[in-house]
Structure 1
Amino acid sequence: MHNVTAVVTAGQRRAAVSLLLAMVLLGVFPLDVLLPSFPALAAHFARSPADIALSISLFAVGIAFAQLLIGPLSDVIGRKGLLLAGMSVSMLGAVGCVMTSDYTLFLVFRVMQAVGCGCFVLSQALVQDLFEGAERDRLRILMVTATGIFISVSPLAGTFLQATLGWRGSFWVFTALSAVVLAKAWVFLQNSRPADSSARVGFVRSYRRVLGDFEFVGYWLISAFAFACHFSFIVISPLIFMDQLQLAPYDFSLILLVYGAAYVVGGILAAVLNRRITPVQQIFTGLSLILLAGLAMLYLAAEHALAPVTVLIPMLICTAGTTIARPAATSRAMSLFPENAGTSASAGSTIIFICGGLISALISLSPSNLQATLGYCFVLLSAVALLLNHRLNRRSSNLATSAVAQPGGD
C-alpha cells in the first residue's frame, strides 16, 4: 500500500477533486491570464513583445527546476508542508512583480513566482496517492481537459483584468486565489509520510532509479512533446494575433475561447477512448492528430495568407490530439514507481516544462514566419513521439514474450 492517505467518502472525494482542479487553475493562471497584457507590459518596461514572450518561457523553465527538489522531498516529508510553502513563495513573487518597475527585477520575481508554482507538480503525486485504477485515469483526463478550459478562459479574464486593473491585476488575483487554495489545502490535506520505506531514499538515488528506466522516460517524453506543441502555441499566440495580425486583446481572447472548445471535445473523446482502446492506442491516436495538425499548418502557411482561421483550425486538431495522448502517457509513466510518486511526478513534469520552455523559446526567436515554424515543430515532435511509442510497445511485447518463455512462465 503506497498511498499517503486514502480518500474513502464521497465528500472527501469531492474535496480532493476540487483541490486538484484549483491547483490546475493556479498552475496555468500565471502564464495565460497575462497574455492580453503583453502590449501593456512591453510599454511599461520599454521592451519588445518578444522579450515579454521570453519571460513566459523563462517562467516555465523556472517551474521545471523547482520541481526537481519538491517531488523527492515530498516523498520523504509529505506533500502538505511543501505545497503550503510553495504557494507562499509564489504569492511573494507575484507581489514583487507588481511592486517593481525594472524589467530585470520583474524577471527575478517571475522566477521566484515560478519556483513557488513548482509545488503544483504535487497534483500528479496526490492523484497517485488518493485515487486508484480507472478513477485515477478518469481524473487525469479531467485535469488535462480542465487545463485546456482554464487556458482558453484565462485570456478573456486577462482582458477584463487588463481593462479594469491594468497588467498588475492578474498578479493580485493570483495572490488572492492562492490564499484561498492555501487555506483549503491546510484544512483538507494530511501530511502523512509514505509507509513504504523504499520511498525514503536520497535525491540522486531516487532520480537515478526513475530516470534510468527507459519506459518511464519514454512515456514522459511523449507527454512532453505533446505538451510542447500546445505550450508553444500559447506562448507565441500574442505575437501572431496581436503583433502580426493587429487584433485587439478582446478579439484575441475570444479566439482562445474557441481554442478551448477543442479541449472539451478532446476530453470527451479521451474519456470514450479510455474505455474502449489500450493506452498505447490512445497515445497513437492523439499523436497522429498532432501530426495531421502540423501538416495542415504547413499547407495553410504555404497556400494562404496569415489569418486567424489558418492558425486556429490546425490548433483545434492539435489540441484534441494533445488531450487524448497526454493523460494516457502520464498514467503509464506514473504507474511504474507508485512508491516514489513525488519523484516520478517531478522528474516527468521537469521533462515537460523544459521541453515546453526551450521549444517555445526557439520558436519565438524566428518571428518572420511563426506559422510555418509552428507547423514544422508539430510534425517533428509528433513523428519522434510516434516512433518512441512504437518502440515502447515493441519493447513491452518482447518482455512479455520473454517472460512467458521462461520456465514456469504462465
Structure 2
Amino acid sequence: MDSANPVATTRQRRGAVSLLLAMVLLGVFPLDVLLPSFPELAEHFRNTPAAIALSVSLFAVGIAVAQVLIGPLSDVIGRKGLLLSGMAVSMLGALGCVITSDYTLFLIFRIVQALGCGCFVLSQALVQDLFDGEERDRLRILMVTASGIFISVSPLAGTFLQATLGWRGSFWVFTALAGVVMFKAWLFLESSRPAASGTPLGFHEAYRRVLGNFDFVGYWLISAFAFACHFSFIVISPLIFMDRLQLSAYDFSLILLVYGAAYVVGGIVATLLSQRVSTGRQIVVGLSMILLSGLVMLYLAANHALAPATVLIPMLICTAGTTITRPAATSRAMSLFPENAGTSASAGSTIIFICGGLISALISLSPANLQTTLGYSFVSLAGVALALNSRISHRTSVLQATATVEPESD
C-alpha cells in the first residue's frame, strides 16, 4: 500500500477488510448452511441422506488438495489472479450443482466448487501482505470472531433458505457472494507478486523450509488444538442437543446463536489483550481459559444432569479462549516466513484441517459420555499446547542469549 496517499490507503484498507470478511463468510456457506437441506437433497437425487453427506466429505477433500497447491503458487505469481480464478471456478461448480439432476454429476460439481474454494487459504497470506504490526493482529482477531459468529448462525440461515428457496437457495446465495468477493478482489488487490527476497522457492523446497521449522509447526499446532476444541463441539453438538436432549432444530439453532455470542466476547477480550500484552502472553491466557473450560465441564458432568446450561457454560469459556489463542498463535507462525506467506498459510491451514478433523472424529466416535469426553479433550489439548508454547519460548530465549553472547566474545 502506498503510504504517500493516505486517502487511497484508507480506501484500500477498508476494501481489504471487507474482502477478507466476505471470504470468511463465504467459507461457511458450502458446508454449514447446506446441512438443513440434506433431506430435500436426498429426495431430489433419489438417494439417502448418508449419500448426500458424502458430498461434504468430498468437498473437504477437494479444499484440502487445492489449498496445498494454491499457497506456494501464490508466492510466485501473486494472490489476485488465483483468487479471481478460484472464485470463477467455485461459481461454476455451484451453478452446476443447481442445474443437474444426476447425483454423480452433483458430486463432480461439488468437487469443482471445492477446488475453487481452496483459494480461501489466501486470506491469511493477504493479511500478512497488506497489514502490519498491531493492525495485522487485530484483523486476525476480527476474522476468527467473524468466523465463529458465521458458523453459529449458519444453521438458522440454512433453515431459512431451505424454507424460502429450497435446497438450491444456499447455492444461489453462494454464487452471489462469490461474485461480490470476485469484484472486491479485482477492485482492491494489486496484480503484482508479493515482495520477496531472493529467488522464489520451488514447491517442495518451500514446504520443506516452513515445515522443517519447529517454531512454525509448533505455533500452528497450538492454533490447531484451539480450533479442534471449537470444531469438536460443532460436530457433536447435534448429538448432544438434538439426540440426547431431544431439542428441536429451531431450538438447536438458537443455542448456537448464544454460542456465537461467546466469539464476540472473546474478540473484545482478545483486542484489549493485544493492546496490553505480547502475543506470547495472549496464547497462555487463551489456552488457560480452554483448560479451565475443560475442568468446569468435567465438574458439571460429574455433579449435574445433562442440560443445555451444563454444556453451554464451559463452552462459552472455551470459545473465548479459542478466540484469544488462535489469532496470536497464527500471527507468530505467519511472521516467521513473511516472504513465503502463501506457503505458510497453506501449510498451517492443512495442519488445522487435519487436527480438527481427526480429533473431532475421535470424540464423536467415543462410546463414553460425550460431555465427559469433551471435557477431557479440552484439558488434554490445552495442556499439550501450553507445554508446546513453553518449549518454543524456551528455545527462543536460548537462541537470543546465544546470539547476544557470540558478538561479545568476538
Fold agreement, TM-score > 0.5: yes
Output the CA distance in 2 between the equivalents of 1:396 and 1:86.
38
Output the CA distance in 1 between the equivalents of 2:270 and 2:199.
32
Output the CA distance in 2 between the equivalents of 1:177 and 1:133.
30
Q: Would the aligned equivalents of 1:210 and 1:216 in 2 still touch at CA under 8 Å?
A: yes
Shift of 1:214: 0.5
Shift of 1:101: 6.0
**Structure 2, unpaired ranges of 5+:** none
2:157 corresponds to: 157
1:175 corresponds to: 175
SS at 1:194 equivalent: coil
1:16 corresponds to: 16
Shift of 1:403: 1.4
Q: Would the aligned equivalents of 1:84 and 1:185 in 2 still touch at CA under 8 Å?
A: yes
Does residue 119 of structure 1 match 2:123? no
1:349 corresponds to: 349
Q: Which segment drifts farther, 214-223 or 153-162?
A: 153-162
SS at 2:167 equivalent: coil
Q: Would the aligned equivalents of 1:57 and 1:358 in 2 still touch at CA under 8 Å?
A: no
Q: Would the aligned equivalents of 1:80 and 1:185 in 2 still touch at CA under 8 Å?
A: yes
SS at 1:302 equivalent: helix
1:19-38 equivalences in 2 (<5 Å): 19-38=19-38
Q: Would the aligned equivalents of 2:68 and 2:347 in 1 still touch at CA under 8 Å?
A: yes
Output the CA distance in 2 between the equivalents of 1:143 and 1:254.
22
Give the fraction of aligned pairs with identical amino acids, expressed as a percent.
79
Output the CA distance in 2 between the equivalents of 1:43 and 1:375.
38
2:392 corresponds to: 392
Deviations 1:40-63 (A, max 9, x none): 5566665467x7667546544432
Q: Would the aligned equivalents of 2:129 and 2:194 in 1 still touch at CA under 8 Å?
A: no
- AA at the equivalent of 2:403: A
Output the CA distance in 2 between the equivalents of 1:114 and 1:409.
56
Output the CA distance in 2 between the equivalents of 1:318 and 1:43.
38
Output the CA distance in 1 between the equivalents of 2:231 and 2:293.
15
1:210-289 equivalences in 2 (<5 Å): 210-289=210-289
Output the CA distance in 2 between the equivalents of 1:147 and 1:346.
18
Q: Which has the higher contact order (CA 8 A, sep 6+)?
A: 1
Output the CA distance in 1 between the equivalents of 2:59 and 2:25.
16
CA distance change for structure 1 residues 103 and 239 in 2, over 3 Å: closer, same or farther? farther
**Structure 1, unpaired ranges of 5+:** none
- AA at the equivalent of 1:157: A
Output the CA distance in 1 between the equivalents of 2:52 and 2:362.
14
Shift of 1:332: 0.4
2:196 corresponds to: 196
Shift of 1:363: 2.8
Q: Would the aligned equivalents of 2:79 and 2:122 in 1 still touch at CA under 8 Å?
A: yes
Does residue 362 of structure 1 match 2:401? no
Output the CA distance in 2 between the equivalents of 1:63 and 1:38.
21
Q: Would the aligned equivalents of 2:38 and 2:49 in 1 still touch at CA under 8 Å?
A: no
Output the CA distance in 2 between the equivalents of 1:384 and 1:40.
43
CA distance change for structure 1 residues 18 and 195 in 2, over 3 Å: closer, same or farther? same
TM-score by length of 1: 0.90
- AA at the equivalent of 2:268: I
Deviations 1:7-43 (A, max 9, x none): 9521111111111111111112223223444555566
SS at 1:193 equivalent: coil
- AA at the equivalent of 1:12: Q
1:295-310 equivalences in 2 (<5 Å): 295-310=295-310
Q: Which segment drifts farther, 142-151 or 257-266?
A: 142-151
SS at 1:200 equivalent: coil
SS at 2:110 equivalent: helix
RMSD of aligned residue pairs (Cα, Å): 2.7
CA distance change for structure 1 residues 42 and 380 in 2, over 3 Å: closer, same or farther? farther
SS at 1:407 equivalent: helix
Shift of 1:217: 0.6
Q: Would the aligned equivalents of 1:7 and 1:130 in 2 still touch at CA under 8 Å?
A: no
Alignment length, in residue pairs?
A: 406
2:68 corresponds to: 68
- AA at the equivalent of 1:63: I
